[in-house]
Copies of this chain bind each other. A is one copy, B any other.
């Protein structure tokens, strides 16, 4: 350890639930990170829309509305603003300036990740986004690294906690579907635009990123056959229960085609599963993913797939990884 070495300068863009948690943990765990990294990780600033709004645990001097200026003085830029712009422009600015980039921006990576990967390679910097897919569940690392010597056959999972909360409420508590959707909304479990969750778009973004990583094929959201849960009725749930089944919104991707012309099929759709199926056992907001590889066989990963603090755990691991490259 060499705490006297030049610190790695970290800029956090955005102070929503995830950004605030990341900034706070960078400060409270500073000694731990210095020890793990061998040099300090210094939070040089947090870009926010309104610097006058008080933020618990964050020195107001760290806050800035000059996002581009903050990006210019960081070794690692952590984009947690969400949305396509200005997030993408700031990431590009960071890469061109030679900074490492970490993001949890699922929609940006699903839609424009291929181009950003190309730019990262051109600039010789890293682009890490473990937190963009299922928060702290380390599914990207497993697909990319733990199975680096294997051949993945398929990936399937319950990857959206909000819809799972709704489906679980209907299946296990006998609540009507409409009422379950209302309760999820009241609890703040649905996005401002609830169709993101209910129509399966959130699940589609996650599975497309996983499929791209697993097979190195440049698939896009347009390759996903998506069916959400809004078309379901109480009769569907009644019928499923009658057959001893449980309806889950399942995102899946699997290899097809030949080894000469490899293809990937990707789908998001409600599926009636046997009650003892691993995916059927996902309760409330839990996320579960099963990765099946030729040698490893099926690996199951389960945990909290959302939440500010949980997502921050994955972002912080990516920040340490990025900092090692500085």
Residues of A at the B interface (CB closer than 8 Å) are 21, 25, 29, 32-33, 36, 130, 135-138, 141-142, 145-151, 281, 293, 295-304, 307, 309-310, 312-321
Contacts and interface: CB of A to CB of B under 8 A. Distances in A.
Contact of A36 (B136, B138, B148, B314): B148
A146 B302 contact: no
Contacts of A141: 138, 141-142, 145-146
B293 A297 contact: no
A297 B302 contact: no
Nearest to A22: B149
A218 to B, nearest CB: 16
Contacts of A36: 148
Nearest to A309: B295
B297 A150 contact: no
B146 A299 contact: no
A299 B320 CA distance: 20
Contact of A149 (B296, B297, B316): B316
Given A295-B312, A300-B300, A320 B146 contact: no
B317 A146 contact: yes
A306 to B, nearest CB: 11
10 contacts: A135-B296, A138-B146, A149-B315, A150-B316, A295-B310, A296-B310, A296-B314, A297-B304, A297-B310, A300-B301
